[in-house]
Amino acid sequence: MGGQVSRKDFEWSYTEEPHATRRKEILKKYPEIKKLMVVDHHFKFQVLSLVILQMIVAYLVGRYANWVMVFVLGYCFGGVVNHALLLAIHEISHSAGFGYSKPWHNRILGMIANIPIAIPVTFSFKKYHLEHHRYQGQDVLDVDIPSEMETKLFTNTFTKLIWVILQPFFYSIRPLFVNPKPPTTMEIVNLVSQAALDIFVINYFGGKALVYLLASSLLGMGLHPVAGHFISEHYMFRKGFETYSYYGPLNMVTFNVGYHNEHHDFPSIPGSLLPKVREIAPEYYDNLPHHTSWVKVLYDYITDPEIGPYSRVKRNQALSNMEDLKMNSKAK
């Protein structure tokens, strides 16, 4: 096959992830950034509006659409909406809905955001995503990094295309093999409540409505412009750089997830305010390599033999043990 990937191993790093150091430097120089660590009170209403909109469309699809339109709408419209809701769940995992003082409010909002996605993801995502922040690049602990199986199977242009199409599958099952954890009570609650809601959709909206919602989720996470962020965020397009921001128009429909360096530096700042971080401290971000097109990211990943599953910075787990020792020492 053409476009055989040239990398044969990850880019191994023996230093700690860069975000904690940069966060400390920026806060020392620009303490006013702390004022951005607030709750965006518009966010919860944006989430509710997206849920209502998608459920209305699902009802109309179930009643009036033919099967071709189910998938066309699922890709062109539903894929954008459900991907936005998945990224709302990402925001909620950082307590963006109501702040850290109201965990139950955030949990309920997360389950509401989950409704049109049709697959229970809210609490499973949070369980692993917070570790991705704490242990970025750590072997085993950061399940955002492709598994060894993926690095062996998807090594040329054609197979990388298949991997991108099936990205929701690998993204969801990888943690179960790389770093399995027992299900939490809230994951079980999410599973049962989502199953009940899916049955409700079938009974009252029709089978096409549920297929539309599922297609919206799966197509919107695969070979879709908004799904470019999965690759743009941490795949190494420039040697030595492990996190990349995207500054482009699709941030408007993805809660500014493209501001990814800014997000990892300040995960407690809501997405709507991340552009202000770059405005306040431009010298820390303007010179970092970044993306301006998620479509180009997808194209380059698939076709460029220099980029593939191994194009990630990885760290030895010993570094995470050192990090735990530091945190325990501070706690004492």
Distance of CA 173 to the CA centre of its chain: 15
Q: Is the pLDDT of residue 321 over 70?
A: no
Look at residue 164 and tell me if it is in a domain.
Answer: yes
Look at residue 96 and tell me if it is in a domain.
Answer: yes
Q: Give per-residue pLDDT as tens, 244-298.
A: 999 999 999 999 999 999 999 999 999 999 999 999 999 999 999 999 999 999 9
Q: Give per-residue pLDDT as tens, 114-169.
A: 999 999 999 999 999 999 999 999 989 999 999 999 999 999 999 999 999 999 99
Max CA distance (Å), the chain: 63
Look at residue 113 and tell me if it is in a domain.
Answer: yes
Distance of CA 8 to the CA centre of its chain: 26
Q: What pLDDT does residue 43 have?
A: 98
Based on its alpha-carbon atoms, the radius of gyration of the chain, rounded to whole angstroms, reads 20
Look at residue 78 and tell me if it is in a domain.
Answer: yes
Its domain, for residue 242, covers 11-331
In the block, tokens 């790093």 appear at 13
Report d(CA 202, CA 212) in Å as an integer.
11
Look at residue 3 and tell me if it is in a domain.
Answer: no
Quote the DSSP letter at residue 272: G
Question: pLDDT class for 3, splitting at 50, 70, 90?
Answer: confident
Q: What pLDDT does residue 329 have?
A: 47
Distance of CA 125 to the CA centre of its chain: 9
Look at residue 6 and tell me if it is in a domain.
Answer: no
Quote the DSSP letter at residue 14: -
CA-CA-CA-CA torsion sign (56, 58, 63, 69): positive
Look at residue 1 and tell me if it is in a domain.
Answer: no
Q: Which residues pair with 290 in a beta bridge?
A: 245
Q: Give per-residue pLDDT as tens, 60-83.
A: 999 999 999 999 999 999 999 999
Look at residue 2 and tell me if it is in a domain.
Answer: no
Reading the block at residue 321, the tokens are 């043990």
Report d(CA 257, CA 19) in Å as an integer.
16
Reading the block at residue 250, the tokens are 């699709």
pTM of the model: 0.93
Q: Do residues 244 and 260 touch, judged by C-beta distance below 8 A?
A: yes
Give which of 261, 322, 297, 272 is closest to 20, Cα–Cα. Answer: 261
Q: How many separate domains does the chain show?
A: 1
Q: Do residues 133 and 233 touch, judged by C-beta distance below 8 A?
A: no
